[in-house]
Amino acid sequence: MKNDPPKKRHPLKRTATDASQSRPSSFKRSQYNRTAGDSLQSRPPSKRPPINPRNAKSTANLPSRDREGAVPPTKITPPQSSQRFSRNRPSNKPRKPIPNRPSAGTPPTSKGPKELLKTLDRILSKSGLGSRTEARSWIGTGRVRVNGLLVQTPDYWVNPKTDKILLDDKPIDLVERRYVLLNKPKGYLTTYKDPENRPTVYDLLTGIDQFLSTVGRLDLDTSGLLLLTNDNDLAEAITNPAYKLEKTYLVKSATLLTDDQLNQLRQGVELEDGRTRPAQLELIRQSEKHTFFEITITEGRNRQVRRMLEAVQSRALKLVRVKLGPLDLAGLPIGTWRDLTEAEVARLASGKIRPNAKASAESAAPEPSAKTLGDTTG
């Protein structure tokens, strides 16, 4: 209708009139302020400075239009790191340590071979006083002193043979040594606490009020002999590769193994972390689908026997550790534990290189039948 108000145009919508009045991109904005009688004129030539002779080489490859007004590049030198972050301190000057507070990872004034130096939390946990997590908590709360100095850094290096370590002003050397032999069942983790609340081997150690560290590990699906102790020196010697402690396992393979595969296991196979040492292998029997055998190794790599079988295109269905050096599982039901005798501890400590067959034969306890265990366990 005539009295209707005019429609408002959308601010972003262009009309045909706007399109006809669109200006060329090459024209200056001042050219659109001309009157109706004015005529379009070309842009005046730009007044550019002459080329600096010193920059002629750097601008030789540019187009002539760009070379006319080329400006020499300016070299910007960033400030040195010592000028930016050192706060007026020379970069080669070390920081002064805080008095009465040892720095992390710095050994104290202890003398001896480097292999004897251990972190403070490790020494406390291996001494049988508690787990490593508990040891770090004690150190952080100021309950530990080394050579009379308060130390609150768990990674502080100490020498257990020369440094005097006190927990609540009591030396840790006074802890009674204990050695426990456990027949670990399948399905138990070799750890102190599990975030998923799965059963651990410590759930089986009822009646023991001391913390005992495991000497080596057995994975979740492996059962058999496991040694626990708070004797740090003996545990370090047993787990040392130079000790060459014999470990005997009963194995049930998932496939029938040929003589060639068994010989490969005897001679050593190539793994991701290197070739294994030669092993002693005794064939127990061959069933319709599986092979039962006993293997003795002198290494302690992670899941070594299982990985050795995988290297010969097979795998372990059952795995039981029946011997650890001179120790065996004779008369120990699965899921139970017992303390080592003084004679067993002495035999472990005396075999610095490798326990011989004569010492193993003098064991007071009779050795279990390998064939019987191979058919019923693992």
Q: CATH number, domain at 127?
A: 3.10.290.10
In the prediction, which pLDDT does 231 show? 85
What pLDDT digit, counting tens, does each position of 171-202 carry?
A: 876 567 899 999 999 999 999 888 899 999 99
**260 belongs to a structural domain:** yes
- Average the pLDDT over 222-243 and give the result: 87
pLDDT of 351 above 50: yes
In the prediction, which pLDDT does 239 show? 84
Q: Is residue 229 within 8 Å of residue 214, measured between CB atoms? A: no
Residue 138 CA to chain centroid, in angstroms?
A: 24
pLDDT of 100 above 90: no
pLDDT of 139 above 60: yes
- The reported pTM is 0.57
**159 belongs to a structural domain:** yes
Last residue of a domain, one of 174, 200, 224: 174
**39 belongs to a structural domain:** no
Count of structural domains, the chain: 2
In the prediction, which pLDDT does 371 show? 35
Shared domain for 228 and 366, answered yes or no, is yes
Residues 143-150: contacts with CB under 8 Å, at least 24 apart? 143/167, 143/168, 144/120, 145/169, 146/102, 146/108, 146/120, 147/108, 147/109, 149/100, 149/102, 149/108, 150/100
Shared domain for 232 and 160, answered yes or no, is no
Q: Which residues does 275 contact at the CB level (< 8 Å), separation at least 6?
A: 268, 269
Shared domain for 225 and 323, answered yes or no, is yes
Q: What is the largest CA-CA distance in the chain?
A: 125
**26 belongs to a structural domain:** no
Shared domain for 348 and 289, answered yes or no, is yes
**317 belongs to a structural domain:** yes
What pLDDT digit, counting tens, does each position of 25-44 carry?
A: 554 455 545 554 444 455 55
End-to-end distance of the chain based on CA atoms, in angstroms?
98
Last residue of a domain, one of 141, 158, 174: 174
Residues that are catalytic: 219
Domain limits for position 214 = 176-378
Sign of the dihedral defined by the CA atoms of residues 29, 34, 40, 43, in that order: negative
Pairing outcome for strands 291-297 and 247-253 = antiparallel
Shared domain for 152 and 232, answered yes or no, is no
In the prediction, which pLDDT does 243 show? 81
Q: Which residues pair with 270 in a beta bridge?
A: 275
DSSP 60: T
Shared domain for 122 and 260, answered yes or no, is no
Query: How far apart, in whole angstroms, are the C-alpha atoms of residue 285 and residue 288?
Result: 10
Other CB atoms within 10 A of residue 28 CB: 10
- Average the pLDDT over 244-269 and give the result: 94
